[in-house]
């Protein structure tokens, strides 16, 4: 197996896993994609309950790592990555929440960030002088997960750009207090400004010596480990003997695309629902077959405020750009903040379950699909702990959310960030470190 750029053809699949991880994005600006996807043995899937999470993860990721990391090292990386639980919690009849927020920064991005960091660490093991710089823009959760996942990884410097005053207090603490190889740049602007600066830096020939790479879900080492969640959920729910439907709160569509890769590896799933907030480029596409990216709009489920989801092209590729085939397995629905708050209240009122705004969006998409398929077992992904959206959750539900230990640990620490105003400031920072 090799990777090719989605701006090129499959016949030109010459990129190794290592190169795809280190580069992040192909030189022609395309996303990397595997040229072959092998089905897992049905015996493994039929007996999944007899395997540990680590064993499952190894089987799932092995073909994509392509023997470029020795088995014992890959097993260690997986062990280190999966140092927490992924429980399915029953919310009501035929509806489960798959809680992906029990990691160090309490959002699902921990798994991808930890896995990618450790792969990069391995690939840099013999490089004495040279460092790779991970440059990442965040609207909130990515920054914390990347900071925590990459902390102390040898040969890797991390530079995080975040929009001043636009991330929550907890999110800001998570990305500005760690020190060591993690630097935060506080940008006088909005998320799109941060993202633009990062993109400009990747294209800037004067920065090639800085060995820049990305750590968002375009990087295969952050995207692919997200397949694990869907196998872990199947392992827990298989005994119920019902067909599974997953609803994934979606922004850049990396997580749901990983779920659909899991399906291509042989995981039995009846349907996937991509639930979005009013940033509805994909729901509109599924309704009209016209893809019209738009500038992102701000919502209370802000980790999904994406107007041009990077990974949707990967989903289309999985279905050979055949709309009918995609439409069979995949639906996408969009919801307003008002819908979201109302649903958070309903879930809490009926089940005493505290959903964060992203999880609530996932729940709505699931319920909509299940209306026509009531015999299915539905799973919505709870992508962040409610504490990460404390103000919205406490105000909407009139409850006090207890602060978990992971969060308490950063709240007392001192923020350290360099203020920057524009691309020249970023460039000067990168060159003069």
Ligand X SMILES: *Cc1c(COP(=O)(O)O)cnc(C)c1O
Residue 121 or 251: the one with the smaller Cβ distance to ligand X is: 251
Shortest separation between residue 269's beta carbon and ligand X, angstroms: 17
Looking up tokens 């919801």 gives 335
d(CA 377, CA 92): 11
In this structure, are residues 158 and 183 in contact, taking their beta carbons and an 8 Å threshold? yes
What is the smallest separation between the CB atom of 253 and ligand X, expressed in angstroms?
5
Residue ranges binding ligand X (CB under 6 A): 107, 109, 141, 217, 249-255, 303-304, 358, 383-384
Q: Which is nearer to ligand X, 45 or 274 (CB)?
A: 274
Q: What DSSP string runs through 144-190?
A: HHHHHHHTT-TTEEEEEEEETTSS-HHHHHHHHS--TTEEEEEESS-
Minimum distance from residue 334 beta carbon to ligand X (Å): 13
Q: If we measure between CA atoms, which residue out of 82, 59, 62 comes closest to residue 70? A: 62
Nearest distance, CB of residue 141 and ligand X, angstroms:
3
C-beta closer to ligand X: residue 155 or 386: 386
User: Shortest distance, CB of residue 170 to ligand X, whole angstroms?
Assistant: 13
Strand 32-34, strand 3-5: pairing: antiparallel
Taking the least distance from each CB to ligand X, the nearer of 94 and 250 is 250
**Tokens coding 45:** 């899937």
Dmax over CA atoms of the chain, in Å, equals 61
- Nearest distance from residue 85's CB to ligand X, in Å? 17
* Two structure tokens written together for 138: 């965040």
Q: How far is the CB of 63 from ligand X (least distance, A)?
A: 22
Report the length, in residues, of the chain: 433
Q: Which is nearer to ligand X, 141 or 172 (CB)?
A: 141
C-alpha to C-alpha distance for 287 and 36, rounded to whole angstroms: 30
CB nearer to ligand X: pick between 197 and 300: 300
Asked if 343 and 364 touch (Cβ cutoff 8 Å), the reply is yes
Chain center to CA of 236: 22
**Among residues 34 and 359, whose Cβ is nearest to ligand X?**
359
């Amino acid at each position: 197996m090799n990777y090719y750029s989605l701006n090129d053809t499959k016949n030109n699949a010459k990129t190794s896993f290592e190169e795809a991880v280190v580069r992040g994005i192909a030189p022609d600006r395309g996303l990397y994609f595997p040229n072959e996807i092998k089905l897992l043995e049905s015996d493994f899937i039929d007996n999944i309950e007899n395997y540990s999470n680590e064993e499952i993860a190894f089987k799932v990721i092995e073909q994509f790592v392509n023997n470029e990391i020795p088995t014992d090292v890959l097993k260690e990386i997986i062990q280190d990555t999966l140092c927490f639980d992924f429980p399915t919690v029953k919310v009501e009849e035929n509806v489960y929440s798959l809680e992906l927020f029990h990691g160090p920064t309490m959002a699902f991005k921990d798994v991808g960030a930890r896995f990618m960091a450790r792969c990069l660490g391995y690939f840099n093991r013999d490089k004495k002088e040279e460092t790779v710089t991970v440059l990442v823009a965040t609207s909130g959760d990515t920054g914390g997960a990347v900071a925590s996942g990459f902390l102390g990884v040898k040969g890797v410097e991390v530079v995080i750009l975040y929009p001043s005053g636009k991330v929550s207090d907890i999110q800001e603490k998570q990305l500005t207090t760690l020190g060591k190889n993690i630097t935060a740049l506080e940008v006088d602007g909005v998320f799109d400004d941060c993202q633009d600066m990062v993109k400009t830096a990747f294209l800037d020939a004067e920065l090639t010596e800085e060995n820049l790479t990305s750590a968002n879900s375009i990087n295969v080492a952050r995207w692919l480990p997200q397949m694990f969640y869907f196998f872990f959920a199947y392992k827990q729910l298989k005994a119920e003997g019902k067909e599974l439907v997953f609803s994934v709160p979606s922004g850049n569509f990396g997580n749901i695309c990983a779920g659909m890769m899991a399906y291509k590896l042989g995981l039995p799933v009846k349907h996937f629902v991509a639930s979005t907030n009013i940033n509805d480029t994909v729901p509109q596409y599924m309704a009209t077959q016209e893809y019209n990216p738009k500038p992102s709009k701000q919502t209370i489920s802000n980790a999904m405020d994406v107007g041009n989801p990077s990974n949707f092209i990967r989903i289309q590729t999985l279905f050979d750009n055949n709309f009918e085939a995609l439409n069979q397995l995949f639906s996408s629905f969009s919801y307003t903040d008002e819908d979201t708050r109302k649903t958070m209240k309903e879930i809490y009122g009926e089940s005493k379950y505290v959903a964060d705004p992203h999880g609530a969006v996932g729940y709505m998409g699931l319920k909509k699909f299940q209306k026509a398929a009531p015999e299915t077992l539905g799973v919505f992904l709870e992508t962040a702990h409610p504490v990460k959206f404390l103000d919205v959750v406490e105000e909407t539900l009139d409850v006090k959310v207890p602060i978990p230990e992971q969060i308490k640990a950063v709240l007392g620490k001192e923020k350290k960030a360099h203020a920057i105003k524009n691309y020249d400031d970023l460039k000067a920072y990168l060159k003069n470190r």
